[in-house]
Amino acid sequence: MTDITDRLSLSSCWCSARHQDGYEMIEEVLGLGFKRIELSHGIRISLVPGILKAVEEGIIEVGSVHNFCPLPNTVQHAAPNLYQPSSSDSRERDLWHRYSLQTLDFAVKVGAPRIVMHSGSVHYFFWSPEARLERWIDKAGLEANELREHKAFRKRCDRTLKRIKRSAKPWLGRIHESYQKLMPEVSERGLTLGVENREGLEELPIDSDFEAFLDAFEEGSPVGYWHDCGHAQLKHQFGLMDHAEHLEKMAPRLIGFHLHDVSEGGKDHQTPGTGVIDFKMIARFVRPEHSLTLELSPSLTKDQVLQSKDYIADCLA
C-alpha cells in the first residue's frame, strides 16, 4: 500500500478553483497525505508563484501537468479545449501550439516528466451527430445504465459513430501535424506527451483508432497513451467498447491513468468504490512506470478524497 500511496497524485482540479494562492493549494493536498500532485488545466497564472515556491522548497512532487497549464493570462477557469490542434483555423492551431509550449516550459520548471493532452474533435456547423443522439436519449428517457443493452439505442449509436468516423480524416490529419510540430520541443525538454482518451463521441482520436493513431508517430517519439478510467467506462456504458479489452489493446502504449469512478447514472469523477468501475480489473494493467492520478470532482469532500485514496491504494497494492 505504501508504494501506491507514494506514487499517487491528486489532480488540482479538485481544489484549484477555490484557492487564490498556489502554496496554500499545495498545503491542502499535502494535508490529505499526498506526496504528489497533477497540475491540471485549471491552474491560473495567479497560482503559479506559490506553486513554484512549494516545488523549490521540495515539499511536493509534480507527477504530471495537464495542457494548458498554466492557463492563458485572460482565462480564469479550466479550459483544456480552448484551442484545438484539430481546428481548420490555422490561427487557432497556432494558439494551441503557443500555449502547449508554455505548458512544456512550465512542466520543466516544476519537474513534471509527463503532459496530459486533449487532441481536439470533429466540428459540425449545424446539429452534430452526437448532439442528435443525446437529444434522442433524452426524448426516450433512457438512463446511462440502460444504454448498452437497448437495441434501438445501439443502432442509432452505431450510425452516429460511422458518420463521425467518415468525417474524421481531415481533422485527424491536422492533429498529427500539430503534434509533429510540437514533438521536437517535447524531446528537447526530455518530456513525454500522454494522449488522453475522451468521453465525447466527436472527440479524437476515436477509441477504436487509438492504436493506429499512436503508431503513426515515428518509433521512439515521446508520446504514449493516457487512460482515463471514467471516460472509458462511459463509452463502455454506451456499448462502444469493452473497457477491459480496450486496456488490453492499449497496454503496450500506456504511460498513465486518471482514476475516478462513474455512477450508474453516468456521472464521472466520483469517489472510487462507489460506482460501477471494476478497479481490480484496472489494477491488472498498472505497472511501476505508470503515472497514477486521482482526478476527482471539486464537489467531493475531503473525507471522500481520503476514502478515494485509501480505496485505490487497496485495489492497486
Q: Where are the domains of the chain?
A: 2-316
Please tell me the predicted confidence (pLDDT) of residue 296: 98
Euclidean distance between the first and final Cα of the chain, in Å? 5
Q: What residue has cell string 494562492?
A: 21
Span 148-182, pLDDT tens digits: 999 999 999 999 999 999 999 999 999 999 999 99
Span 70-113, pLDDT tens digits: 999 999 999 999 999 999 999 999 999 999 999 999 999 999 99
Please tell me the predicted confidence (pLDDT) of residue 127: 83
Span 274-306, pLDDT tens digits: 999 999 999 999 999 999 999 999 999 999 999
HSE, CB side, 13 Å, CA atoms: give it for residue 284: 10
Please tell me the predicted confidence (pLDDT) of residue 151: 94
Question: In the 8-state DSSP scheme, what is residue 235?
Answer: H
The dihedral sign for the CA sequence 147, 148, 152, 158: positive
Does residue 3 have a pLDDT over 90? no
Neighbours of 151 (CB within 10 A): 7
Which class is 2-316 in CATH? Answer: alpha beta
Is beta strand 192-196 parallel, antiparallel or unpaired with respect to 8-11?
Answer: unpaired
Span 196-252, pLDDT tens digits: 999 999 999 999 999 999 999 999 999 999 999 999 999 999 899 999 999 999 999
Q: Please calculate the CA angle 279-282-283 and round it to the nearest 5 degrees.
A: 90
What average pLDDT does range 126-143 have in this prediction? Answer: 93
What average pLDDT does range 120-126 have in this prediction? Answer: 92
Q: What is the separation of C-alpha 9 from the centre of its chain, rounded to a whole number of angstroms?
A: 14
Tell me, letter by letter, the H, E, C secondary structure of 2-52. Answer: HHHHHHEEEEHHHCHHHCCCHHHHHHHHHHCCCCEEEECCCCCHHHHHHHH
**Distance, CA of 67 to CA of 39 (rounded, Å):** 9
Please tell me the predicted confidence (pLDDT) of residue 1: 40
Span 26-80, pLDDT tens digits: 999 999 999 999 999 999 999 999 999 999 999 999 999 999 999 999 999 999 9
Cα dihedral 62→207→272→312 (10° resolution): -50
Does residue 15 have a pLDDT over 50? yes
